[in-house]
């Protein structure tokens, strides 16, 4: 089985495994106690903090360990907002942030705060000037991920951090996906990350709050971790997380070159070997091991099952996966096709042979899914009407797009097709299909049931 989902959770690094096993014997005691076992545990905790701080590029007393990356994000956002409440209650986030950031934004808004969500371009990147335009006198905090978790696009953190610094607004960076590859550039104020993203154990996150940033921890607190992460420290996990972070960063430069070559191979071969596919995300400014593409006329969940049977573990941001009935917020914000979406995220050490085998299997897997769904194939059609109506009510993606593709050739150039759909994914997938196939997406209109999408044939 080839595991290609490192962006969700990277396999445990050998150094993490060794450190975890060793610290289970040495680091089981309470590091706040003064007896011998406690002092030994404290030494391990302090050493882990110093090692992690060195890799992050901060002071050890600015970094605390949390129970997860999500907890680090939630604590960082709530603490920074509370610390700057006198300034105002305005929060800025990008439209493609991790759900932990967006959930925090929702909670802030429900509590009476205001939120500005900055849009991204089709590559998934935020324009720095858009962050500058969003800054207000009452802005308490801005948040920006270092790189996107679904498409791998890197964000202009340094430029945004400079704009925030000039405005006197702290910037929180979610560095979960990128911290194992390199330090986060720019004068950021807060940083959150998660160990299982770089090959450390799950259940360990880190939160950095720079000196001088106003911060008021929310909820019940205790004396541990500077009062910013209550509860007994997971010392074996913390030691393993710090050791693996240092190890992966030592290997990062060389491994990044190798993984970039493999993802370039995937990007090129997928576009050549699979018809009607859109490779998404920035082709240059992206993380080394992530490549994402969307296939027309494909049910994402079925495609993932086909690839799983062929021996490949991949993930999807498709609206058709079993975990959600709505399109991925990242793909929706980018305005790209959401149906049939596949994210390949290669762990360090992935053999090139595994990638080549994946590229051999993928075209057949996509073709098999399309055949099951009755997707259109190139054929000569007879023009019958100037306007056609496609009733796709009650049908989930990608059926509305498949039905549209089947009949677009049945109207003359300049003719229109009206697609009726009550699936939220159609709002994203039909315009994306039009852009991919050179047709004109005219507009959407309210219908008696669902929504009507009007498409004009151009070619």
Contact 106/88 with Cβ under 8 angstroms? no
CA atoms of 294 and 306, how far apart (whole Å) = 15
How many angstroms separate the CA atoms of 285 and 155, rounded?
8
Residue 398: asked if its preceding bond is cis (omega within 30°), the reply is yes
Furthest CA-CA distance within the chain? 88
Residue 240 to residue 13: CA distance in whole angstroms:
9
Q: What distance in Å separates the CA atoms of residue 393 and residue 451, rounded to the nearest whole number?
A: 9
Catalytic residue among 164, 320, 397, 434: 320
DSSP state of 394: T
Q: Cα separation of 333 and 328, whole Å?
A: 9
Per DSSP, the three-state class of 452 is: strand
Q: What is the CA radius of gyration of the chain?
A: 24
Indicate the pairing of strand 171-174 with strand 190-194: parallel
The number of C-alpha atoms within 13 Å of 393 and in the hemisphere containing its C-beta is 10
Nearest residue to 47 via CA among 210, 238, 252, 196: 238
| CA dihedral angle for residue 367, residue 368, residue 371, residue 375, rounded to 10 degrees | -40
Output the six-digit token pair for 118.
């900055």
Report DSSP letters for 158-213, one per residue.
Answer: HHHHHHHHHHT--EEEE-TTTTTTSPPPS--SEEEEEGGGTTS-SS-EEEEE-TT-
CB 209 within 8 A of CB 78: no
143 is catalytic: no
Residues 6+ apart with CB under 8 A from 179: 55, 56, 146, 193, 197, 198, 245
SS (H, E, C) 284-332: CCECCCEEEEEECCCCHHHHHHHHHHCCEECECCCCCCCCCCCCCHHHH
Q: What are phi and psi of 197, to 5 degrees?
A: -80, -20
Token reading at 87: 């300034």
**Which are the catalytic amino acids?**
320
């Amino acid at each position: 089985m080839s595991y290609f989902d490192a962006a969700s959770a990277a396999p445990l690094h050998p150094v993490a495994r060794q450190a975890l096993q060793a610290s289970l014997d040495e680091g089981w005691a309470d590091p706040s106690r003064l007896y011998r076992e406690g002092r030994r545990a404290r030494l391990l905790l302090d050493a882990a903090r110093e090692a992690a701080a060195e890799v992050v590029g901060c002071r050890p007393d600015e970094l605390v360990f949390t129970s997860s990356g999500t907890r680090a994000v939630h604590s960082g956002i709530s603490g920074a907002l509370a610390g700057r409440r006198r300034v105002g209650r305005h929060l800025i986030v990008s439209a493609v942030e991790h759900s932990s950031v967006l959930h925090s934004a929702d909670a802030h808004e429900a509590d009476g705060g205001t939120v500005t969500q900055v849009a991204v371009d089709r590559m998934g990147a935020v324009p720095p000037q858009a962050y500058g335009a969003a800054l207000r006198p009452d802005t308490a905090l801005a948040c920006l991920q270092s790189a996107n978790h679904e498409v791998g696009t890197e964000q202009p953190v340094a430029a945004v951090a400079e704009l925030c610094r000039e405005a006197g607004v702290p910037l929180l960076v979610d560095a979960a996906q990128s911290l194992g590859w390199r330090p986060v550039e720019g004068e950021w104020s807060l940083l959150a990350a998660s160990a299982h993203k770089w090959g450390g154990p799950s259940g360990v996150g880190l939160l950095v709050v720079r000196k001088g940033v106003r911060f008021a921890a929310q909820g019940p607190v205790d004396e541990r971790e500077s009062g910013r992460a209550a509860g007994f420290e997971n010392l074996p996990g913390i030691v393993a997380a710090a050791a693996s972070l240092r190890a992966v960063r030592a290997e990062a430069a060389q491994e990044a070159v190798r993984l970039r070559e493999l993802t370039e191979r995937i990007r090129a071969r997928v576009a050549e070997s699979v018809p009607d596919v859109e490779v998404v995300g920035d082709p240059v400014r992206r993380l080394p091991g992530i490549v994402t593409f969307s296939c027309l006329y494909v049910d994402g969940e079925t495609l993932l099952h086909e690839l799983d049977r062929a021996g490949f573990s991949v993930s999807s941001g498709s609206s058709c996966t079993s975990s959600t009935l709505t399109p991925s917020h990242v793909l929706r914000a980018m305005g790209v096709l959401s149906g049939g979406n596949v994210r390949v995220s290669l762990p360090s050490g992935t053999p090139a042979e595994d990638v080549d085998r994946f590229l051999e299997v993928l075209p057949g897997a996509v073709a098999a899914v399309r055949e099951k769904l009755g997707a259109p194939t190139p054929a000569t059609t007879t023009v019958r009407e100037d306007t056609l109506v496609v009733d796709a009510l009650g049908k989930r993606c990608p059926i509305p797009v498949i039905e549209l593709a089947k009949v677009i050739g049945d109207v003359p150039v300049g003719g229109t097709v009206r697609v009726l759909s009550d699936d939220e994914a159609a709002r994203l997938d039909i315009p994306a299909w039009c852009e991919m196939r050179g047709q004109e997406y005219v507009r959407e209109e309210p219908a008696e049931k669902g929504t009507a999408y009007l498409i004009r044939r151009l070619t």
